[in-house]
Homo-oligomer: A and B are copies of this chain.
Amino acid sequence: MALPLEGIRILDFTRYQQGPFATVMLGDMGAEVWKVEEPRGGDFGRRMWKEPDGFTGFFEALDRGKQSVCIDLRTNEGPAIALRLGELCDVVVENFRPGTLERWGLGYDAFRARNPRIIYAQASGWGQRGPMAEQPSFDQIAQAYSGYATHSGGGPGSRPEVSYPGIADQSGGMNLAFGIMTALFVRERTGIGQKVSVSLLGTQLALQSPEIVHALHFGWERPREFRASPTVGHYECSDGRWVMIVGIDQKFWPRIARALGVDELITDERFARGFPRWSNRAQLEPLLEARFLMQPAQHWLDRLREEDVPASLVREYADLADDEQAAANGYIVEYEHPRFGKEKTVGLHVELSETPGRLGSAAPLIGADTARVLEMARYSRDEVADLATRGVVALGSE
């Protein structure tokens, strides 16, 4: 059975996180990804979180399933090589600051002139226009500018929080992958190639669109408290672990009260309906907190399950390694890493029944594919050797 993106080839200039996660997703779906890296050290992501054993979870997660082609784009000859590779590709992806690739002669127009069907995808910090467009950005900048850090911290007046560094990049990558697939679909139907643009800022606003649409209409930000309500949030148990419950509509209230053994609260007029439960949360939450603290987490999870209340243990990453649910769906999979042996990793998260993707191979060694890819673009072995001698490209060392 063919892979969904069988035959689609991507010239990938992305670095760090936002762009690379998009091309991991496309690679898992079967696209061939040529990751262009600078010869001296390659993508900075190779050094992120690197531990003494040489393993970097950052690079493995964001660059698996790709091939590494080292070209120095700052040389006179480098850009011409990249353009020639672009003739063999369906998609170019990059996340430099707007204007950078253009200055190297590698803008959309340059690729389109040689390959009119090319899709040229840009992930930026700020979008392609506006006063900030050429400023640098990063994940945390987008979290700050978009209002995310403030809302996460508890809203205006609270201490802002970057509660999850990387969330803007990672969701930006998903959004970029969606944009590229939309453009590939259009091209398949109409033959039209085009430019696709997403940004950290645009994706952050989209992620928050319900809250922001509320604020744009009313002029005030909805409260962001520790719990969304007494019946939607997490409680500490006697063993120090926490249990999350989500009793989002009225039917769950009697079930929760029964599970906790506080049946008398079901009809208590302060708590019987959603609005008073919310207004009187300062009275109700301590009652529920006290109950949860009386038994260990598993006790309450069993009781909540019996009453059909959506609930979960609040878990740590250490709980994932042997998690049956994640494994059953291929979200955590085992594979053979050429250097580290048997490893577990985060697998595919989009399942297609008839043309499924498959886990890409381990992140490539730097420059491992330079020679082979250049030869596909009809550079002779001698030319490749010469370019390598002069430092325009770099070949992987075995």
A189 within 8 A of B: yes
Give the shortest distance, in Å, between A133 (CB) and chain B (any CB): 8
Contacts of A174 in B (CB 8 A): 171, 174-175, 178, 206-207
Give the shortest distance, in Å, between A108 (CB) and chain B (any CB): 8
Contacts of A346 in B (CB 8 A): 205-206, 208-209, 212-213, 216
Q: Can you name the residue of chain B whose Cβ is closest to the Cβ of A44?
A: B249
Do A57 and B210 contact each other (CB < 8 Å), given the known contacts A242-B160, A345-B216?
Answer: yes
Give the shortest distance, in Å, between A342 (CB) and chain B (any CB): 11
A113 within 8 A of B: no
In the bound complex, what is the Cα–Cα distance between A138 and B108 (angstroms)? Answer: 42
A71 within 8 A of B: no
A365 within 8 A of B: no
A290 within 8 A of B: no
A217 interface neighbour in B5, B55, B249, Cβ under 8 Å: B55
Do A318 and B219 contact each other (CB < 8 Å), given the known contacts A17-B210, A174-B178?
Answer: yes
Q: Are A329 and B194 touching (Cβ within 8 A)?
A: no
Q: Are A196 and B49 touching (Cβ within 8 A)?
A: no
A67 within 8 A of B: no
A162 interface neighbour in B234, B313, B324, Cβ under 8 Å: B234
In the bound complex, what is the Cα–Cα distance between A249 and B136 (angstroms)? Answer: 13
Q: Are B214 and A49 touching (Cβ within 8 A)?
A: yes
A287 within 8 A of B: no
Q: Give the size of the chain A interface in residues (CB under 8 angstroms).
A: 146
Within 8 A of B (CB), among A151-186: 151-153, 155-156, 159-167, 170-171, 174-175, 177-179, 181-186
Looking at the complex, which of A259-267, A351-359, A389-397 is the stretch in contact with chain B? A351-359
Within 8 A of B (CB), among A319-341: 319-321, 324-329, 331-332, 340
Q: Can you name the residue of chain B whose Cβ is closest to the Cβ of A243?
A: B144
In the bound complex, what is the Cα–Cα distance between A60 and B343 (angstroms)? Answer: 44
In the bound complex, what is the Cα–Cα distance between A234 and B145 (angstroms)? Answer: 12
In the bound complex, what is the Cα–Cα distance between A209 and B350 (angstroms)? Answer: 14
Q: Which of A190, A224, A351 counts the most B-chain CB atoms under 10 A from its CB? A: A351
Give the shortest distance, in Å, between A324 (CB) and chain B (any CB): 6
Contacts of A175 in B (CB 8 A): 174, 349-350
A103 within 8 A of B: no
Contacts of A82 in B (CB 8 A): none
A222 within 8 A of B: yes
Give the shortest distance, in Å, between A270 (CB) and chain B (any CB): 22
Looking at the complex, which of A32-40, A123-131, A276-284, A379-387 is the stretch in contact with chain B? A123-131
Sample of 6 more A-B contacts, CB < 8 Å, known A57-B214, A144-B313, A151-B316: A131-B324, A163-B164, A165-B232, A170-B210, A174-B174, A192-B355
5 pairs, CB–CB < 8 Å, chain A vs chain B: A2-B190, A57-B211, A141-B311, A177-B178, A215-B317
Residues of A within 8 A of B (CB): 2, 4-5, 17, 21, 25, 29, 44, 49, 51, 55-58, 60-62, 108, 126-133, 135-141, 143-153, 155-156, 159-167, 170-171, 174-175, 177-179, 181-186, 188-190, 192-199, 201-203, 205-222, 224, 226-228, 232-234, 236, 242, 244, 246, 248-249, 308, 310-321, 324-329, 331-332, 340, 343-346, 349-355
